[in-house]
Amino acid sequence: MSNKMWGGRFSERPDEIMEEINVSIDVDRHLFAQDIAASKAHAAMLANQGIITASDAKNIGKGLDTILSEIGKGDFTFKRALEDIHMNVESRLSELIGPAAGRLHTARSRNDQVAIDFRLYVRDVLDETDAALAAFQAALVNRALEHAATVMPGFTHLQTAQPVTFGHHLLAYVEMAARDRGRFQDARKRLNESPLGAAALAGTSFPIDRHATAKALGFDRPMANSLDAVSDRDFVLETLSAASICAVHMSRLAEEIVIWTSPLVGMIRLSDKFTTGSSIMPQKRNPDAAELVRAKTGRVIGALNGLLIVMKGLPLAYQKDMQEDKQGAMEGFAALSLAIRAMTGMVRDLEPDEAKMKAAAGEGYSTATDLADWLVRTLKMPFRDAHHVTGRIVAKAAEGGVALHELPLKDMQAIEPKITKDVFGVLSVESSVKSRTSFGGTAPKNVMSQAKAWVKRLEKERKLG
């Protein structure tokens, strides 16, 4: 008895283990909407080109719509024996409309079919990710507007460095997300070429119109080389690369939230919506959502590494190895989507303890640079000399266990006689942040201006769609 799927060439069924390793329907069933959309476009093109009759194309289209509805309602039975989404759809189509279903596969192969399906899927992921990141940016910008003048410590080496504003800190992630969106948008541009019609690897002898199917499916153009069209997955790799960078950005903010919510720091609080308790310690409030965002980053990066390893040694054209291109990528995209939405929720939810932030901003002699700048600006001292003098003054304050603004003027003058009482005007954390007026600096008026500019930009993007 011949194999039902492969026809006359094979006379025996595959071994049970062969069926198990070969089957992909558990993964590529998620491509059902894309598979049906591509098949409808292909059938319409075949009819327009006179390759199949208009009647057959109409019946194929109706049958495919029925299958789409069945899957959407959960009434469709996916059969592992049919291996993948393509054969499952075609088999059901045959049950619905009879022999005409067999004409749908004219002038195409499962090689270009899976390539078009996955491109459509990743394109949808890119659009959804862009929208999610825009919402994340909007949440950050709204909180930055609230806290444009809220002082907090800025860190280098996780040590108190200089005072900044909380709004300024949040806007840093807005900028990161903007670059993430740019990378995703660039990936979309390169992705947006259609492989449909490349067939198995060499094209087809049928007079198909690849430009028509490309246009019908929203692609800019058909891919120019049939070998390339069916055998490369750089569109997935590029998207996963951008996703990995984006996930790292999410993880960095998540890590900061974990640190900030610790009772040892206590600069922000998350509500019950984004924290969990302990099964044994009733006092605990754990920032589990943030911790899980950190962990999801590993899934995204792992998906990129996995696909790079799959692709690295493959000759042209399609190889069965490429069946492994989807599961990891889909899981990685899902992990990033969840991470972005979780971070957006936490940004909206978090409440800073402004008093603790301000107190922490003044610790560690964080306004020492302001003192050095005052020496340069007022006493015309070379910065390297000012740096040395300031270091000695900081050491004096540390010796006395007082803050810089609490050190007596006479003690400063013992180190640099030209210092006047005016120096105290730059030593508070409020004065420090207000002075950082250079473009991109943390001055509250800068932060407010940048946040308002982002509000306008995001609103413009939203209206343009």
**How far, CA to CA in Å, does 378 sit from each of 294, 384, 414?**
46, 15, 18
Provide the Cα torsion 334, 340, 346, 352; round to 10°.
150
In 3D space, the residue among 242, 250, 218, 228 whose CA is nearest the CA of residue 341 turns out to be 250
**Residue whose structure tokens are 């070429």:** 193
In 3D space, the residue among 173, 348, 337 whose CA is nearest the CA of residue 274 turns out to be 348
C-alpha span between 417 and 71 (Å, rounded): 83
C-alpha span between 106 and 86 (Å, rounded): 14
Give the SS3 label for residue 417.
coil
C-alpha span between 330 and 310 (Å, rounded): 15
Residues shown for the chain: 465
C-alpha span between 290 and 295 (Å, rounded): 9
- Helix 166-191 to helix 444-464 angle (10° resolution) is 30
Check whether the bond before 359 is cis (ω within 30° of 0).
no
Strands 151-156 and 159-165: antiparallel
Burial 156-183, CB ≥16 within 10 A → b, else e: eeeebebbbbbbbbbbbbbebbeebbeb
Q: Check if 278 is active-site.
A: yes
In 3D space, the residue among 403, 363, 455 whose CA is nearest the CA of residue 148 turns out to be 455
The single residue of 2, 69, 278, 449 carrying the catalytic annotation is 278
The single residue of 11, 157, 205, 438 carrying the catalytic annotation is 157
**Residue whose structure tokens are 């004096």:** 396
Q: Check if 157 is active-site.
A: yes
Known catalytic residues?
157, 278
